[in-house]
């Protein structure tokens, strides 16, 4: 019988942005060229025409490698740029492949040596020029209790005050460069964007406690998940409220995975939040999400159903012990048997790390039993929930139904949910993950532009008329790409 092998990191990435492409086929490129960096000033938006922008973003991969992303907000193409010959960068047919070369990118500088635009040239085609969109970028630091959080504030160069959006991470020690194409997608709409290193990560201080943290030896009695994450987000919100270039009445949140859930909790705590966007975040008890992941991740890998049932049974056992405090010896025996039979794949989340019953009970009371749904009764701002149809980490239909029910019962009149066909956890299109699933950028763009007032910023209207992408020749039909749940 085929053995089910599930890496601990698969379950452990519980609710991270999972803008994760380390599994994609990697290009056969010279590692020495990978080290060529891009000037910080080159990151940003570039305008091909009035309704067509592309973005260049700095991105940190799963293994900590610095990468450059190019994103076409019309076609949804999101790929890595790899160093080519001389000063050129190239894009291949897959997210993580450089050859065969489909696009060559050259950064064009003016007489003062500043980047003024980019030349985009497909194979055997004439180059197109995209003019750099002026943006202001500032390194910032703000306080959240004892932690100092470091980040970057990106603001349109036009006269303000500007509406703003704060981006929230998924679980894990993530930095400001973990958001894929989203920072400059949002600036392309005319929003100011704040990204920051999660506490205890990058240049931020403090201790990180989230859904990815391992079993703790010392159990803080005042901690309840996700209070620390919510407080950090509120600190970021207050920081932007005090900035003269930001409209304090138009500051909202977007978060992915765990961050999407946190966005709704922040909105519940502050009536001043202008909007909240939950991208792939769970909407129910955390323990149910972990149980869903156990089955969904295994099925995605083609694991035999008998092994899936065995994994679900073991998961149910240790969660029952954590909830009730009963049958701890039974759990220890089952775990030892799994190890003896080389079934380490049964040990999901922290079940392989527990050394005391007290740890398990603490995890249940402080983390596993948490559900974001009760707090939704206090959310009065507009809410968008968006999930991928093929997400193995969040049960998309259940999350959408739960959000709709909670907000309807709370009397919220302005909310919308979307499940994106073929969307992954990161909302990249499955299979292949070479672009955002059709409907993602369009849904975000349309929803925000109807709810946010801009201070004279030139925004991207989107591909309603036609798709003139230089990154992807295929013309996509956007109507019907997302379905209302």
Q: Which residues fall within 8 angstroms of residue 326, CB to CB, at 6 or more apart?
A: 320
Question: How deeply is 268 buried, as exposed, middle or buried, from its count of CB atoms within 10 A (0-12, 13-18, 19+)?
Answer: buried
**What's the order of all strands across the beta sheet hosting 276-279?**
135-144, 147-156, 192-196, 162-168, 246-256, 276-279, 383-388, 415-420, 483-484
Element (H, E) at 119: strand 115-122
| Separation between Cα atoms, residue 443 and residue 73, nearest integer Å | 12
Of 445, 461, 455, 458, residue with least CA distance to 246? 455
Q: Which residues fall within 8 angstroms of residue 348, CB to CB, at 6 or more apart?
A: 6, 8, 11, 290, 293, 294, 311, 314, 315
pLDDT at residue number 446: 96
Map out the domains of the chain with their CATH numbers. Answer: 26-132 (2.40.128.50), 135-286+370-484 (3.40.50.1820)
| Separation between Cα atoms, residue 485 and residue 481, nearest integer Å | 13
> Is residue 168 a contact partner of residue 233, using CB atoms and an 8 Å limit?
yes
| Separation between Cα atoms, residue 464 and residue 52, nearest integer Å | 11
| Separation between Cα atoms, residue 142 and residue 134, nearest integer Å | 25
pLDDT at residue number 210: 65
Read off φ and ψ for residue 313, nearest 5 degrees: -65, -40
Of 75, 50, 363, residue with least CA distance to 224? 363
Q: Sign (positive/negative) of CA torsion 468, 470, 471, 475?
A: positive
Q: What is the C-alpha radius of gyration for the chain, rounded to an integer number of angstroms?
A: 23
pLDDT at residue number 124: 84
> Is residue 143 a contact partner of residue 149, using CB atoms and an 8 Å limit?
yes
Question: How deeply is 170 buried, as exposed, middle or buried, from its count of CB atoms within 10 A (0-12, 13-18, 19+)?
Answer: buried
Q: Which residues fall within 8 angstroms of residue 411, CB to CB, at 6 or more apart?
A: none
- Start-to-end CA distance of the chain, whole Å, equals 39
Listed as ranges, residues in the chain with pLDDT below 50 are: 1-34, 457-458, 463-485
pLDDT digits (tens, 9 = 90+) for 152-194: 999 999 998 999 999 999 988 899 999 999 999 999 999 999 9
> Is residue 256 a contact partner of residue 19, using CB atoms and an 8 Å limit?
yes
Q: Strand 246-256 relative to strand 192-196: parallel, antiparallel, unpaired?
A: unpaired
Of 142, 235, 144, 152, residue with least CA distance to 186? 152
> Is residue 393 a contact partner of residue 349, using CB atoms and an 8 Å limit?
no
pLDDT at residue number 428: 94
The CA-CA-CA angle for residues 369, 233, 353, to 5°, reads 40
């Amino acid at each position: 019988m085929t053995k089910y092998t599930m890496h601990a990191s698969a379950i452990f990435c519980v609710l991270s942005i999972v803008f994760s492409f380390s599994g994609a086929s990697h290009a056969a490129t010279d590692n020495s060229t990978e080290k060529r960096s891009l000037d910080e000033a080159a990151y940003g938006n570039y305008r091909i025409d009035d309704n067509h922008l592309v973005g260049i973003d700095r991105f940190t991969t799963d293994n900590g490698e610095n990468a450059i992303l190019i994103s076409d907000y019309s076609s949804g193409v999101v790929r890595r740029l790899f160093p080519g010959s001389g000063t050129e960068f190239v894009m291949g047919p897959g997210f993580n492949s450089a050859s065969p070369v489909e696009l060559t990118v050259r950064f064009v500088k003016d007489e003062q040596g500043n980047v003024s635009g980019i030349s985009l040239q497909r194979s055997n085609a004439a180059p197109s020029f995209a003019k750099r969109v002026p943006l202001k970028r500032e390194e910032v630091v703000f306080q959240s209790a004892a932690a100092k959080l470091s980040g970057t504030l990106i603001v349109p160069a036009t006269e303000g005050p500007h509406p703003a959006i704060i981006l929230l991470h998924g679980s894990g020690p993530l930095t400001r460069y973990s958001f894929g194409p989203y920072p400059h997608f949002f600036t392309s709409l005319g929003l100011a964007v704040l990204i920051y290193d999660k506490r205890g990560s990058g240049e931020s201080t403090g201790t990180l406690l989230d859904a990815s943290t391992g079993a703790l030896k010392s159990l803080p009695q005042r901690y309840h998940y996700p209070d620390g994450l919510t407080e950090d987000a509120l600190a970021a919100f207050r920081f932007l409220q005090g900035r003269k270039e930001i409209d304090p009445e138009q500051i909202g949140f977007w978060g992915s995975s765990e961050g999407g859930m946190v966005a709704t909790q922040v909105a519940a705590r502050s009536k001043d939040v202008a909007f909240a966007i939950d991208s792939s975040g769970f909407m129910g008890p955390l323990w149910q999400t972990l149980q869903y992941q156990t089955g969904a991740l295994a099925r995605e890998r083609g694991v035999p159903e008998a092994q899936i049932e065995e994994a679900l049974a073991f998961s149910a056992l240790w969660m029952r012990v954590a909830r009730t405090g009963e049958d701890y010896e039974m759990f220890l025996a089952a775990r030892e048997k799994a190890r003896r039979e080389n079934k380490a794949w049964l040990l999901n989340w922290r079940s392989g790390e527990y050394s005391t019953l007290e740890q398990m009970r603490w995890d249940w009371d402080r983390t596993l039993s948490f559900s974001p749904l009760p707090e939704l009764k206090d959310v009065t701002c507009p809410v968008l929930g968006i999930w991928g149809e093929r997400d193995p980490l969040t049960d998309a239909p259940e999350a959408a139904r739960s959000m709709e029910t909670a907000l309807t019962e709370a009397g919220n009149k302005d909310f919308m949910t979307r499940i994106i066909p073929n969307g992954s956890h990161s909302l990249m299109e499955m299979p292949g993950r070479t672009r955002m699933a059709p409907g993602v950028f369009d849904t975000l763009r349309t929803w925000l532009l109807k709810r946010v007032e801009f201070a004279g910023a030139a925004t991207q209207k989107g591909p309603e008329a036609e798709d003139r992408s230089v990154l992807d020749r295929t013309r996509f039909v956007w109507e019907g790409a997302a379905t209302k749940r």
